A and B are shown apart, each in its own frame.
Chain A
C-alpha cells in the first residue's frame, strides 16, 4: 500500500487555492487562519477526487482535516492504513518483484521469493512447536539472518517477539524475561554477554516454565534446531490479525527498577515503516544498517528498509573499518546509524580511504546530533543528512527533517512530525508554552499500547486524551520544525544507549558502606554523554572507587558502568532533601568544589 504524504496534500491545496503559496504542512488551519471552514469543505471535495476516497459529509469531523499532515493521515486511514498489519505488509512487499534480492546479511542473500518461502515455512514450524497468535517469544541473538527470519515469521503468525538486549548481564535479562511472561525462546548459546544455558538455569531456579527453546547453533551435521523446525506451510491456518493487535514488546530498561515492556501495535509499526520509507528512501535505494536488531533503531530500520521493496543489507560487524569498507563498495545508497557511530567513523583514520560516492542519503537518529557533527557528516560525505527523532514509546519515529530542507533546518532541528503524529510543547502543568519557548515535548499518534503489565508507569507518562509526555525538552526552531534541547526525565544517552541513572544508583546503594549516590551525564565528544557517579560513603566506613566499580560490574550491563566515580563529602540538595542533579552536572563538567572532595574515604 502506498500512503499519501503531506507533500501531496500541500500540492493539492496550492492547486485548489492558487493565491496561497506558503502552506506549512504541520500547522493547524485553525491556528494559522490559512483556510476557513468553507475552504476546508471545498478542499474535501478535491481530496475525494484526487485520492479516490469518499467521506460521509453528514458525519464529518473537520478536526481530522485541520492541517495537511492530518489530512494525509485521515485519507490513508480511509484507504485502510489503520487496519494494516505486518502480515499484510510482508505479503504485499514480497509479492512485487519476487526474483529481486530482498535482504542480504553478510554474504547471504535471499530474494523476495526465497524470503517468502522461508518465512512461511518457519511460521508453520513455529505453530507446530506451539507458538501461536499472542505467544510471547523471547529472542536472544546477536544480529544474524535467523533474527530477521524470526521477526518476520513471528509477526506473520501474530506472535509477540520480545527481543533481549545481548549486552545486559544475566540478572537483568532474567528479570525482563520473567516480566514478559514468555515461555518460548529463540536463542544461540553465546549471544553478546549472555550464555543461554546460564539464563535457563537461573529461570528454572526461579520457577519459570520453559515450554520450548529453539536453538540456532548448528550440530555436527551443520544444521540447527532452528533449521529443522521449518515445515511445509500449505496446511497452516493463521489466526486473523487486526491493526490494533500487539506486534511486539520492546523493553526500554530493565533492570534494577521495574522493567518497562513497551507494547507496540501492528498498524502503528506498519504505517510508520511505510511513511518513513516514503520520506527517506525509494525503491531505487539500497539501504544499509548495522543497528542491533534487539534495539528500536534495529528493528525499525529492518522494517522501514524492507518496506522500501529493494535490497536491504546488514553486516554482523560493528567495527568502523568493516563498515567503511562496506560503504566503499558503493553497493548501498542510504546508511542509517546513530551520532556516536558517525563520530567514531569520522575520527577513524580509515575514513581518509573510504569512498562515499555510492551513498546519496544519510539518516541520523538515536541520540542528539549536534549541529557541528551534522556539518562534519555532510561536508565529509557530500550529501544531505536527514535528522530524525523518536522514542520507543512513540513507536520510534516522531519527527524528521525532509530531503530538500535548508541547511539550517537539517543541522539545527529534528524536523517536523510524520503523518499520524501530533506534537505540542508544554510546561510542568502540561499546558502549552508560547511558540518558541522551551518545554516538554508531548506526542499523540503511534503511542504505545502501554507498558506490559504496568498500568501505573503507563499512566505516569500518558493522559486520557492520548498524549504521551516524552520527558524530552524541545522548542520550535521556526514555524514547524523543532529542536530537542535536553531532557526533563532522568536519562543519559551514552553511545546511543538509553541509560537510566536510577538503575545504577540503586545498585550502588546496595553497597552497605554507601550512604547516598547519584549519577548524571557529562557531555562527551564521541559518546554524546558519559556516565558520572557521585558517591557519599557512610561516616566511619572505608570504600574506594575500585570497590564500587567491581560491585557495579557484577550487577549491571557493561554499558551502564560509570565512566567515572567521584567520592564526595555530601550531596548538594534542594528542598526536602532531594539531590540537586543540576549542581552535580555542573560539578561533573567544571570540577568539584574543594570542600566537597574526598580522595580516600575512611
Chain B
C-alpha cells in the first residue's frame, strides 16, 4: 500500500469519508470539519507517519486531496 492509499485510509477511518468524498471534496468544511480540526488531524498524522508539518502551510491545505498531496510530498 503506497503512502497515498495509507493516508486516504487514515482519513477515511478517522472521519468516515468515502474515497470518492476524499477525492472530490471542495473543502474540509464541506465534509463537516471546522478549521481547527486540522490542527488535531496534523498532530495525529505527525505521530503516525513520522512527518513534521509546518503549521503555516496549513492555511493553504483546505481539501483532503491537498492534505494527502502535502503529507505524501513530505
Contact = CB atoms under 8 A, between A and B. Distances in A.
Given A550-B16, A558-B29, A321 B39 contact: no
Given A545-B16, A548-B16, A559 B54 contact: no
A563 B40 CA distance: 6
Size bracket, chain B contacts: 20 to 34
Contacts of A320: 59
Interface in A492-528: 494-495, 524-527
Contacts of A460: none
Interface string B9-24: 0001111110000000
Interface string A564-581: 100000000000000000
Interface residues of A, number: 31
Interface in B35-52: 35-37, 39-41, 43-44
B43 A524 contact: yes
A544 B35 CA distance: 24
Contacts of A344: 39, 55
Nearest to B44: A564
Interface in A305-354: 318-321, 340, 344, 347-350
A393 interface: no
B3 interface: no
Contact of B16 (A350, A526, A549, A564): A549
A349 B56 contact: yes
Nearest to A494: B36
Given A348-B56, A546-B16, 4 more contacts: A320-B59, A524-B39, A524-B43, A563-B40
Contact of B39 (A167, A349, A527): A527
Interface of B is mostly: helix
A324 to B, nearest CB: 11
B32 A561 contact: yes
A591 to B, nearest CB: 12
Contact of A321 (B12, B36, B59): B59
Nearest to B12: A546
Contacts of B55: 344, 347-348, 526
A392 to B, nearest CB: 20
Nearest to A557: B34
Contacts of A547: 16
B23 to A, nearest CB: 16
A545 B14 contact: yes
Contacts of B33: 558, 561
A527 B56 contact: no
Q: Which are the 9 A-B pairs with shortest beta-carbon distances?
A: A546-B16, A349-B56, A549-B16, A553-B32, A563-B40, A347-B55, A495-B36, A558-B34, A526-B39
9 contacts: A319-B59, A344-B55, A349-B54, A494-B36, A530-B40, A545-B13, A548-B16, A558-B37, A561-B37
Interface of A: 167, 318-321, 340, 344, 347-350, 494-495, 524-527, 530, 544-550, 553, 558-559, 561, 563-564
Contacts of A546: 12-13, 15-17
B56 A544 contact: no
Interface in B46-74: 54-57, 59
Contacts of B44: 564
A526 B12 CA distance: 23
A560 B30 CA distance: 15
Nearest to B33: A558
Given A319-B59, A321-B59, A350-B56, A527 B16 contact: no
A40 B25 CA distance: 70
A349 B54 CA distance: 8
A347 B40 contact: no
B72 to A, nearest CB: 21
Given A348-B55, A348-B56, A349-B56, A564 B12 contact: no
Contacts of A167: 34
Contacts of A340: 36
A8 to B, nearest CB: 42
A558 B32 contact: yes
A84 to B, nearest CB: 37
Nearest to A320: B59
